[in-house]
Amino acid sequence: MTVSALAPALCRDCLEAFDAACAPSRCPTCGSGRVVWHAELRDLAIAHVDCDSFYASIEKRDRPELRDQPILIGGTDPRSVVATACYLARQYGCRSAMPMYKARELCPQAVIVRPDHGKYRRVSADIHRILHSVTSLIEPLALDEAYLDLSHREDIPEALADIAQRVEQEVGISLSVGLSYNKFLAKTASDLQKPRGFSVIGRAEAVAFLAPRPVRAIHGVGPAMERRLQGDGFTTIGDLQQVSEMELKTRYGAHGGWLWRIARGQDDRSVTPERESKSISAETTFQQDLSRPADLLAALAPLAERVERSLRRHQMAAAGVVLKLKSRDFKLRSRHLRLPTPSQQAGVLLTAVRPLLEREADGTLFRLIGIGAEPLVDGALADPPDLFSCREHDGQ
Amino acid sequence: MKLTIERSVLLKSLGHVQSVVERRNTLPILSNVKLEATAEGLALNATDMDLDIIERVSAAVERPGATTAPAHTLFEIVRKLPDGAQVEIAFEPEGSQLTLRSGRSRFALSCLAVEDFPSMADGVFSNSFTVAAPDLRALIDRTKFAISTEETRYYLNGIYFHSTTSSGVNVLRAVATDGHRLARVEVGRPEGADNMPGIIVPRKTVLELRKLIEETGMGVTVSLSETKIRFAFDDVVLTSKLIDGTFPDYERVIPQDNDKLLRVGKKLFADAVDRVSAISTEKSRAIKVAISPGLLTLSASSPDAGSAVEEIEADYDSATIEIGFNSRYLMEILGQIEGDTALFAMADAASPTVIRETDDGAALYVLMPMRV
């Protein structure tokens, strides 16, 4: 065997780096079986980290008695959906976004835990502190996942293994890592070995790796696009690899160009730190459809307070307010209004949105209501000082 | 009803009344103008239920009568008739259409029953006085920019007029504010206005009135009822509801003890603010004003556009101060200053600043600083 056939390997437990000719089953130093080995291990710099069943892991961390039980995070109302199913519950077929009643049919013994979003945000912030100690090029996708660009570092696999270790030790939940040369493949990789995974997709195998996977695996292909692609004879990514860029562009326009490139493992989107959010909103689905303005307004009040908390946390202010209503027959109504001056106060948002709501509340039964701050401006502009500081002067 | 009227006379009057008519109306009759022909001529009447205008014009009335017709349509037709044309308007008492003839044009317009046209004339108008048109124009012109458009603060959606004394002189005072700036302007109190209560005249009324008195040389007779105000001048009577609310105690927010006094050339300052504000962000329009003895430094910065600094000479000898303002508000106030110099009285970066022309000028402005 020649030296050139050796490929880099890393023990994810003791962080020992070594070279091996084939996938090592054990770390030569500590004996751990958690070794990552790949020819391009030291040539890849885009990573995706994704917490394993985030909400469920946090609840199991905080309530050890639930550790060996299947749990479902979500509400128990007839319309609730599963936010997260733990890995035990997944063995019964429970999945996130599944209606809760269905998940309970599949796994009647599952413990249902109401989500505590405030707690999840705090845990997310803890994880981000660890990520920030490694790189500042972080693009959060959700509370529990983010892209990392590590191209400025020498010790990329070590840094990633270190993140996974520290999150387990300091935060108490596990995550999976995907490492590749672009965002699409890094995200694909992180999903390969969950939980506690560390997967690598290199340039050499990317095309062959993607070929057998369903088109649905492509970022941006939803159920409708999937049906359309299948109708046109494209079931796997490999099918897309067989045709010319021109053909896909002719069929699907600009999106066709994206499909062609992504099928070949080409994705030039950069890791963009702190994606600027355009709006901050909160919404709720009613247990029973509502039509009376007073009921709708009452439902809106706690949502406005959630928006206020979120605005303050992000140091943003609402320059306008959006009212969102979904009628019983799923028709969406969205109404926008500019505020006289930007605000962070729930009361101001509610007062502004009230006439909009009263106009829409024409007897229609609504199943969902939401309120959003949009557009957003710098929080420093919120609620400018007023000569008559008491805004609630009632004029009487 | 049948009458003949000169196109220019009718056009001018329709121009006045159609301006009161809202473009969208839930009540169809409010889209119409009431036309009433009597031996004295033609009276045109339009209303939005808050504001009502009646204008009388001379016309050759052959047969008296009254009806209502779509105001904007009628205005459009008359506007498009040739200059110098004579217009014949006719309406049969039992008919549903008004006919309008001029030259070889003939129009038939749908009418609505005159009995359904709402009247705002009721109420006892007692308190009455006459204010000189130039005084009324000044009171409106110098305060209207500060009127609030925030519907939730409806009591600020107009100009507050009241009679008071200022340095021992009896005055009629106009005040407008949106909470961020305040304008206070006064004129000598007209005879008979001593007992007028404080009233808030809505923004739309103020703006319509201002247009109508543009060329009036005579006095404007003001009458008040419990809930309404009436302005009579030339051949026009404008009646408006008053805003039913309490204007806040504005004197309380006008600082008396601001001791950091700045005297600066009005135009010099306004032009510099205009230039520097090109950089301030669209959303905040914030500019920073740093004042030290003899020197005023304006600056603005935005993450996108960059930064700007401009220095101007200023008459100032108090402690150095740094204060932020909304550049648009600052320029609007500077635009109201008569004379070459503006006087700024400041306390600190968080407290209201007072801006005047002279120590005892007729106008006083208050501007709330911004956090910068």
Which of B152, B283, B368 lies closest to A377 in CB terms? B283
Catalytic residues of A: 145
Region B63-71: mean pLDDT is 95
Stretch (H or E) spanning A377: strand A376-378
Q: What would the pLDDT profile of B43-61 be if each residue is shown by its tens digit?
A: 999 999 999 999 999 999 9
Contact call for B248 and A384, based on CB within 8 A: no
Region A354-380: mean pLDDT is 90
Q: What would the pLDDT profile of B233-264 be if each residue is shown by its tens digit?
A: 989 999 999 999 999 999 999 999 999 999 99
Interface of B with A (CB under 8 A): 148-155, 177-180, 182, 245-246, 248, 253, 283-284, 350, 352, 366, 368-371
Binned at pLDDT 50, 70 and 90, residue B371 comes out as confident
Residue A394 pLDDT greater than 50, yes or no? no
Q: Which of A343, A350, A388, A390 is the mutation pick for testing B, counting most B CBs within 10 A?
A: A388
Looking at residue A265, its pLDDT comes to 94
Residue A67 pLDDT greater than 60, yes or no? yes
Residue B207 pLDDT greater than 80, yes or no? yes
Can you state the percent helix, strand and coil of chain A, rounding each to 5?
35, 25, 40
- Its CATH architecture, for the domain A207-263, is Orthogonal Bundle (1.10)
CB A82 within 8 A of CB A73: yes
Q: What number does CATH give the domain B2-116? A: 3.10.150.10
With beta carbons under 8 A apart, name residues in chain B contacting A386. 179-180, 368
Which of B149, B246, B283 lies closest to A396 in CB terms? B246
Looking at residue A393, its pLDDT comes to 39
Please check whether residue A178 touches B, CB under 8 A: no
For chains A and B, what is the number of CB pairs under 8 angstroms? 54
Q: Which of A274, A393, A394, A396 is the mutation pick for testing B, counting most B CBs within 10 A?
A: A393
Q: What would the pLDDT profile of A160-211 be if each residue is shown by its tens digit?
A: 999 999 999 999 999 999 999 999 999 999 999 989 999 999 999 999 999 9
Q: Which amino acid is at A384?
A: P
Q: What residue spans define the domains of chain A?
A: 1-37, 40-204, 207-263, 280-390
Q: Closest Cα of chain B to A142: distance in Å?
A: 27
Q: Closest Cα of chain A to B341: distance in Å?
A: 25
Closest residue on chain A to B372 (Cα): A380
CATH fold label, A280-390: Dna Ligase; domain 1 (3.30.1490)
Direct distance between the N- and C-terminal alpha carbons of chain B, in angstroms, rounded to an integer: 66
Structure token digits, residue A286: 């009613």
Structure token digits, residue B180: 């961020």
Q: What residue spans define the domains of chain B?
A: 2-116, 127-252, 254-367
The dihedrals phi and psi of B265, each to the nearest 5 degrees, come to: -60, 125
What part of A 350-369 touches B (C-beta under 8 Å)? 351-352, 355
With beta carbons under 8 A apart, name residues in chain B contacting A355. 151
Looking at residue A391, its pLDDT comes to 40
CATH of B127-252, one of 3.30.750.24, 3.10.150.10, 3.40.50.150, 3.90.600.10: 3.10.150.10
Q: Which of B258, B283, B327, B364 is the mutation pick for testing A, counting most A CBs within 10 A?
A: B283
Looking at residue A329, its pLDDT comes to 86
CA–CA distance, A96 with B259 (Å, rounded to integer): 65
SS (HEC) of chain B: CEEEEEHHHHHHHHHHHHCCCCCCCCCHHHHEEEEEEECCEEEEEEECCCEEEEEEECCEEEECEEEEEEHHHHHHHHHHCCCCCEEEEEECCCCCEEEEEECCEEEEEECECHHHCCCCCCCCCCCEEEEEHHHHHHHHHCCHHHCCCCHHHHHHCEEEEEEEEECCEEEEEEEEECCCEEEEEEEECCCCCCCCCCEEEEHHHHHHHHHHCCCCCCEEEEEECCCEEEEEECCEEEEEECCCCCCCCHHHHCCCCCCEEEEEEHHHHHHHHHHHCCCCCCCCCEEEEEEECCEEEEEEEECCCEEEEEEEECEECCCCEEEEEEHHHHHHHHHHCCCCEEEEEECCCCCCEEEECCCCCCEEEEECCECC
Which of B149, B179, B245 lies closest to A387 in CB terms? B179
Contact call for B245 and A395, based on CB within 8 A: yes
Which of B153, B180, B248 lies closest to A384 in CB terms? B180
Q: What would the pLDDT profile of A297-309 be if each residue is shown by its tens digit?
A: 999 999 999 999 9
Contact call for B370 and A384, based on CB within 8 A: yes
Contact call for A395 and B246, based on CB within 8 A: yes
Which residues of A make up each annotated binding site for Mg(2+)? Answer: 50, 144
Q: Closest Cα of chain A to B182: distance in Å?
A: 8
Instruction: Tell me which range, A5-9, A329-333, B34-38, B285-289, is most confidently predicted by mean pLDDT.
Output: B34-38
Binned at pLDDT 50, 70 and 90, residue A396 comes out as very low
With beta carbons under 8 A apart, name residues in chain A contacting B155. 393, 395
Region B207-217: mean pLDDT is 91
Closest residue on chain A to B349 (Cα): A385
Name the least confident of A115-119, A143-147, A203-207, B41-45: A115-119
Contact call for A393 and B366, based on CB within 8 A: no
Closest residue on chain A to B353 (Cα): A387
Kindly state the percentage of chain A with pLDDT values over 90.
63
Binned at pLDDT 50, 70 and 90, residue B65 comes out as very high
CA dihedral over B141, B145, B150, B156, signed as positive or negative: negative
- In order of B57, B60, B85, B89, B217, the CA distances from B6 in angstroms are 10, 9, 6, 11, 24
Looking at residue A133, its pLDDT comes to 87
Q: What would the pLDDT profile of A238-291 be if each residue is shown by its tens digit?
A: 999 999 998 998 888 888 899 999 999 999 888 887 655 677 888 888 888 999
Binned at pLDDT 50, 70 and 90, residue A73 comes out as very high
Closest residue on chain B to A340 (Cα): B150
Q: What number does CATH give the domain B254-367? A: 3.10.150.10
Stretch (H or E) spanning A372: strand A366-373
CATH of A40-204, one of 3.40.50.300, 3.30.70.270, 3.60.150.10, 3.40.50.920: 3.30.70.270
Binned at pLDDT 50, 70 and 90, residue A141 comes out as confident
Looking at residue B85, its pLDDT comes to 94
Q: Closest Cα of chain B to A354: distance in Å?
A: 11
ipTM of the predicted structure?
0.73
Q: Closest Cα of chain A to B22: distance in Å?
A: 19
Please check whether residue A388 touches B, CB under 8 A: yes
Which of A340, A381, A387 lies closest to B283 in CB terms? A381
Contact call for A385 and B149, based on CB within 8 A: no
Residue, of B185 and A134, whose pLDDT is higher: B185
Which of A341, A351, A393 lies closest to B248 in CB terms? A393
Looking at residue A2, its pLDDT comes to 45
Residue B119 pLDDT greater than 90, yes or no? no
